[in-house]
Amino acid sequence: MADGHQDAVKPFETLTAWEQANYSAHKYAKDALRDYVTDECPPIPTTIGEGDTWLLTLDAVPVTSEIKKTIYNSKYNDEGKSFWMVRLQIRYDQCNIIEWDIVRRTSVMCSGEQRKRRTKHMANIGPVGTVLHRRKARDIDMCARCKMEETKIHIVTCQGPDTEQKFLTAMETVDDWMRTGPNQFAIAIRELLRAHRNRTRPRWHLVDDEDTIQTMKQQWSLSKVSLLWGFLHTGWRPIIDRHFKGSRKSSARWLSILCGRIWGITEQLWEHRNTIEHGVDANNHLAEERHSELNEQIDAIFDRVPALRYLPLTSRHFFTQNKAWRKRCKLRDKRKWIRDADVVLKRYEEIRNLSHTARNFENFLISPSAQHGNNDDDD
């Protein structure tokens, strides 16, 4: 039991990690205070005086420069690795076979906007079909190019019109950079990317070097998207080191630039997807079709709108603009207005149909003379 603590009724082993830490902090503080009093309260030096020497260590390793950065990394590097391993569906026992230094270098080399966009894409919070459908920003989750379910991986694997040409065009920049590296390495990387896009197994027989084949298989087993997003296996770096041995070229920098160019494949196919999705291309009519469908729904809603004086004051603002103004709005704004306006009208119609008093009062407002005439006849 956690004696002398708020959790005294619980066994220590059943406490959460935070509760155990809280208990330990209390225990250590109480022990320190008891020892301090036992020693007759000797003076406690509160600051380091001028000329006194001190040394900061983390895990018994002295820290002599970039202290803030080192402390931050010691805390959050492991958490960052764990986050991306979950996102990429990589096992925890594979953490040490990923070139995390290359991941960091690749991130530093790109712009802030690129870094933000890539992070959202890998974390599966980017504006792909499945995410937009989950957020109710879309009625369907289909890809605009091939009508299949659109996920973050589908952006590259999509086999819709012109996607193969876009993929080959993006691969040219990757091939240009790999010409300065080992030939067998270039063949392996090219084959892994092709296999990922086509969802087939790599053709191992294309590579002759045993070390390259072994690393190629390890990269493929690591995660199908790991190479596409710059998470390299540690086996690649010795291969590049041997190739650049005797030169001043850095294998880490060379691989980081390569990963940046591989990222360009996803980015170019994403731009192609946006061209089709948002109707930038004159030959595409997908956006026009969506606007047309929503415009029909807007017409149907305005046909149901009664005189505004019959609606609650809090709901009248939905219908202060006319149909033409609503039809000029963006797709997102149209969908939101249609959803909200439909709720208001359904509630109004429900009250009107269920409440005899409300229906009679509305009839009275619409035709007061007819209502008085009926009353006179009844008399």
Q: Are 256 and 309 found together in one domain?
A: no
Q: Label the pairing between strands 61-63 and 56-58.
A: antiparallel
Q: What is the DSSP letter of 325?
A: H
The strand ranges marked E within the chain are: 56-58, 61-63
Does 90 fall in a domain?
no
Q: Are 233 and 147 found together in one domain?
A: yes
Residue 263 dihedral angles phi and psi, to the nearest 5°: -60, -30
Q: Are 271 and 307 found together in one domain?
A: no
Q: Are 306 and 261 found together in one domain?
A: no
Residues of the chain with pLDDT under 50: 282-283, 370-379
| Closest among 288, 254, 235 to 105, alpha carbons compared | 254
Q: What is the DSSP letter of 60?
A: T
Q: Are 199 and 336 found together in one domain?
A: no
Q: Are 263 and 218 found together in one domain?
A: yes
**pLDDT, tens digit (0-9, with 9 covering 90-100), for 193-240:** 999 999 999 999 999 999 999 999 999 988 878 899 999 999 999 999
Q: Are 30 and 149 found together in one domain?
A: no
Does 284 fall in a domain?
no
Which pair of structure tokens corresponds to residue 216? Answer: 């190629």
Does 163 fall in a domain?
yes
Q: What is the CA radius of gyration of the chain?
A: 33
- Under a CB-based contact definition with an 8 Å cutoff, are residues 152 and 143 in contact? no
- Structural domain containing residue 14: 1-39
Q: State how many domains the chain has.
A: 3
Q: Are 205 and 157 found together in one domain?
A: yes
Distances (CA, A) of 223 to 54, 133, 189, 239: 45, 26, 14, 20
Q: What pLDDT score was predicted for residue 256?
A: 95
- Under a CB-based contact definition with an 8 Å cutoff, are residues 262 and 117 in contact? no
- Under a CB-based contact definition with an 8 Å cutoff, are residues 239 and 185 in contact? yes
Q: Are 172 and 272 found together in one domain?
A: yes
C-alpha to C-alpha distance for 109 and 30, rounded to whole angstroms:
50
Q: Are 242 and 366 found together in one domain?
A: no
Single pTM value for the model? 0.65
89 torsion bin: left (phi>0), alpha (psi -120 to 50), beta (else): left
Give strand pairing partners of 142. Answer: 149
* 3-state SS assignment for residue 72: helix
Does 118 fall in a domain?
yes
Does 92 fall in a domain?
no
Q: Are 237 and 164 found together in one domain?
A: yes
Cβ burial of 3 (10 Å; 0-12, 13-18, 19+) is exposed
Q: What is the DSSP letter of 126?
A: S
**pLDDT, tens digit (0-9, with 9 covering 90-100), for 3-39:** 555 556 778 778 888 888 888 888 888 888 888 778 8
Does 345 fall in a domain?
yes
- Under a CB-based contact definition with an 8 Å cutoff, are residues 74 and 208 in contact? no
Does 91 fall in a domain?
no
Does 58 fall in a domain?
no
- Written as one letter, the residue type at 139 is D
Q: Are 369 and 334 found together in one domain?
A: yes
C-alpha to C-alpha distance for 341 and 327, rounded to whole angstroms:
14
Helices 183-198 + 163-178 axis angle, to 10: 160
